[in-house]
Amino acid sequence: MSLVTEDGQQTPDLNVDLVRLSPRGEPLSPFLVMLFYSKGVFSWLHKRGRRMWWSPEPRSVLILSELKVSRSLRKKLRSGRFHVTADTRFEEVMRLCRLTRKESWITDEHIEVFSRLHALGHAHSVEVWEGDQLVGGLYGVCIGELFCGCSMFHTAPDASKIALVKLVELLASWRIPLLDCQVHNPHLQRMGARVIPRDTFHRLAGHLVRQKRRVGSWSKYFT
């Protein structure tokens, strides 16, 4: 089971959902991230300065066909006020995801390793711009047909939602069925995310990661 705070934030129960506590001195690496993510396990909170790998029960996912876009958000998408790019400011998106949270698991080590994954074409960012200002975005890892969303941020209202909508449109065009949201929260739930049993997610992940891989920059898909 998972612990749920008063605001609806889901936090994995240490006794149930802790998959593995990394040994002291074990470096995070692109290989470890790809290995664990392909098994439905992700690096998240730390304990006493040591990294932990997580697989929450239940797991939060967004079935792409169930995406909910409010009338006000549709209006913003049509307004021309924002424009969206991908893979142009990956490290900056990660740093803003960390900066805009009171507490964050995004350490300098995370930024270094995920930036290497980005350079290898496995990690991607979606950026939302208002004029020349980066006002929202998200990043994650894509393995086969499984996109694992890691974090998102906004400094303008609804900018992170716009990033999510545009990402979903791209993934849906590739017939990718779902987006791994990892940890459930009210923001994602309002956009259609729901929880499924961990075992079900792991079975789905095992199938999706064996599908066609699209390695490389996604910039060309957001012109």
Answer yes or no: is pLDDT of 46 > 70. yes
Query: In this predicted structure, what is the pLDDT of residue 31?
Result: 92
**Run of H or E including 164:** helix 159-173
Task: Give the CATH number, domain containing residue 88.
Answer: 3.40.630.70
The residue with greater pLDDT, 44 or 139, is 139
Asked if residue 128 and residue 103 are part of one domain, the reply reads yes
Predicted confidence (pLDDT) per residue in 58-71, tens digit: 999 999 999 999 99
Question: Cα-flanking dihedrals φ and ψ of residue 51, to 5°?
Answer: -75, 145
Query: Which structural domain range is residue 129 located in?
Result: 59-222
Question: Cα-flanking dihedrals φ and ψ of residue 130, to 5°?
Answer: -120, 105
Query: Cα(54)–Cα(36) distance, rounded to whole angstroms?
Result: 9
Tell the burial category of 1 from Cβ atoms under 10 Å away from its Cβ (0-12, 13-18, 19+). exposed
Mean pLDDT (whole number) for 194-214 = 94
Looking at this protein, which amino acid is placed at residue 136? G
Query: In this predicted structure, what is the pLDDT of residue 20?
Result: 64
Among residues 54, 78, 93, which one ends one of the domains?
54
Contact 10, 3 (CB under 8 A): yes
Predicted confidence (pLDDT) per residue in 205-214, tens digit: 999 999 999 9
Closest CA to 123 of 217, 11, 219: 217
Closest CA to 135 of 165, 102, 157: 157
Asked if residue 131 and residue 38 are part of one domain, the reply reads no
* Total number of domains constituting the chain: 2
Asked if residue 87 and residue 49 are part of one domain, the reply reads no
Answer yes or no: is pLDDT of 184 > 90. no
Asked if residue 69 and residue 44 are part of one domain, the reply reads no
Asked if residue 191 and residue 160 are part of one domain, the reply reads yes
Asked if residue 105 and residue 34 are part of one domain, the reply reads no
> Could you tell me the pTM of the whole model?
0.89
Predicted confidence (pLDDT) per residue in 101-150, tens digit: 777 889 999 999 999 999 999 999 999 999 999 999 999 999 999 999 99
Pairing state of beta strands 83-86 and 178-182? Answer: unpaired
Closest CA to 19 of 1, 43, 3, 38: 43
Contact 137, 153 (CB under 8 A): yes
